[in-house]
Chain A
Amino acid sequence: MPGLIAYGAYVPYHRLARADVAAALGTPPARGTRAVAGYDEDTTSMAVEAARTALARDGLRPRVGQLFLATAAPAYLDKTNATAVHAALRLDEHVLAADMAGSVRSGLGALVTAARSPIPTLTVLSDLRTGLPGGSDELAGGDGAAAFVFGGHRNGAPVLAELLAHDAVSDEILERWRLPGAPASRVWEERFAEEIYVSLADKALTAALDQAGIDRAAIDHLVVSGLHARACAAVRRAAGARPEAVTPDLAAVIGNAGAAQPGLLVADVLDRAAPGEIIALVVLGDGAGVLLLRTTEALPAHRSARPVAAQIAAGSAPMPYATYLSWRGLLDREPPRRPDPEPPYAPPAHRRTAWKYGFVASRCEKCGTRHLPPDGVCVSCRSVDTMADEPMQHVRGSVATFTVDRLAHTPSPPMLVVVVDYDGGGRFRCQLTDATEADAAIGARVEMTFRRTVTAAGVHNYFWKARPVRTGETEGTRG
Chain B
Amino acid sequence: MSSHGIRDRVAIVGMGCTPFGEHWTRSADDLLVDAVGDAVTSAGVTLDDVDAFWFGTQASGVSGLALSRALRLPHKPVTRVENMCATGSEALRNACYAVASGAYDMAMAVGVEKLKDSGMSGLSGTAIPGAGDDSRGEITAPANFSLLAPAYAAKYGLSGEEMKDVITRIAWKNHVNGARNPRAQFRKEVPLERIRSAPVIAGMLGVFDCSGVSDGSAAAIVVRAEDAYRYTDRPVFVKALSFVAGPADGLLDPEYDFTTFPEVVASAREAYRQAGVTDPRAELALAEVHDCFTPTELVLMEDLGFSERGQAWKDVTSGAFDLDGSLPVNPDGGLKAFGHPIGASGLRMMFEAWLQLRGEAPPERTVTSLAEGRSLALTHNLGGGPGECVSFVSVVGSQLSA
> B254: which of A349, A403, A427, A463 is its contact (CB, 8 Å)?
A427
Is the CB–CB distance between A349 and B133 below 8 Å?
yes
- Closest A residue, CB atoms, query B202: A405
Assess whether A336 is interfacial by the CB under 8 Å rule.
yes
Contacting A at CB under 8 A, from B226-264, are: 247-249, 251-254, 256-258
* C-alpha spacing A344/B140, complex, angstroms: 18
Chain B residues with CB under 8 Å of A405's CB are 139-140, 142-143, 146, 202-203
Using A373-B135, A405-B139 as known contacts, say yes or no to A426 and B252 having CB atoms under 8 A apart.
yes
* C-alpha spacing A415/B137, complex, angstroms: 12
Is the CB–CB distance between A400 and B258 below 8 Å?
yes
Contacting B at CB under 8 A, from A414-438, are: 415, 417, 419, 421, 425-431
Is the CB–CB distance between A379 and B253 below 8 Å?
yes
Is the CB–CB distance between A339 and B120 below 8 Å?
yes
Taken residue by residue from 428 to 466, chain A's Cβ proximity to chain B (1 for < 8 Å, 0 otherwise) reads as 111100000000001000000000010000000101000
Assess whether B121 is interfacial by the CB under 8 Å rule.
yes
Chain B residues with CB under 8 Å of A345's CB are 129-130, 133
With both chains docked as a complex, state the minimum distance between the C-beta of A359 and any C-beta of chain B, in angstroms. Answer: 10
Chain A residues with CB under 8 Å of B203's CB are 402-405
Chain A residues with CB under 8 Å of B121's CB are 336-338, 407
Chain B residues with CB under 8 Å of A407's CB are 121-122, 140, 142-143, 201-202
Assess whether B157 is interfacial by the CB under 8 Å rule.
no
Using A338-B122, A428-B251 as known contacts, say yes or no to A403 and B134 having CB atoms under 8 A apart.
no
> B258: which of A339, A380, A415, A419 is its contact (CB, 8 Å)?
A419
With both chains docked as a complex, state the minimum distance between the C-beta of A264 and any C-beta of chain B, in angstroms. Answer: 31
With both chains docked as a complex, state the minimum distance between the C-beta of A353 and any C-beta of chain B, in angstroms. Answer: 10
Taking chain B's interface residues, is the majority helix, strand, or loop, or is none over half, making it mixed? loop
Chain A residues with CB under 8 Å of B258's CB are 400-401, 419
Assess whether A84 is interfacial by the CB under 8 Å rule.
no
Assess whether B278 is interfacial by the CB under 8 Å rule.
no
Contacting B at CB under 8 A, from A315-356, are: 336-339, 341-342, 344-345, 347-349, 352, 355-356
Assess whether A95 is interfacial by the CB under 8 Å rule.
no
- Closest A residue, CB atoms, query B118: A339
Chain B residues with CB under 8 Å of A400's CB are 151, 254, 257-258
Chain B residues with CB under 8 Å of A349's CB are 130, 133-134
Contacting A at CB under 8 A, from B190-205, are: 200-203
* Tier of interface size on chain B: 35 or more
> A442: which of B118, B150, B247 is its contact (CB, 8 Å)?
B150
With both chains docked as a complex, state the minimum distance between the C-beta of B233 and any C-beta of chain A, in angstroms. Answer: 47
Assess whether B132 is interfacial by the CB under 8 Å rule.
yes
Using A401-B150, A406-B202 as known contacts, say yes or no to A341 and B138 having CB atoms under 8 A apart.
yes
* C-alpha spacing A357/B360, complex, angstroms: 59
* C-alpha spacing A355/B129, complex, angstroms: 18
* C-alpha spacing A372/B254, complex, angstroms: 12
* C-alpha spacing A369/B253, complex, angstroms: 9
* C-alpha spacing A349/B353, complex, angstroms: 47
Assess whether B136 is interfacial by the CB under 8 Å rule.
yes
Is the CB–CB distance between A403 and B143 below 8 Å?
yes
Is the CB–CB distance between B142 and A427 below 8 Å?
no
Chain B residues with CB under 8 Å of A252's CB are none
Assess whether A469 is interfacial by the CB under 8 Å rule.
no
Is the CB–CB distance between B133 and A344 below 8 Å?
yes
With both chains docked as a complex, state the minimum distance between the C-beta of A80 and any C-beta of chain B, in angstroms. Answer: 20
* C-alpha spacing A308/B154, complex, angstroms: 38
- Closest A residue, CB atoms, query B119: A337
15 A-B residue pairs with Cβ-Cβ distance under 8 Å, sorted by A, are: A338-B124, A348-B130, A349-B134, A379-B249, A380-B253, A400-B151, A402-B147, A403-B147, A404-B200, A407-B121, A407-B122, A407-B140, A407-B202, A408-B140, A429-B139
Given A348-B130, A419-B258, A428-B252, 4 more contacts at CB 8 Å? A341-B138, A349-B134, A379-B253, A415-B143
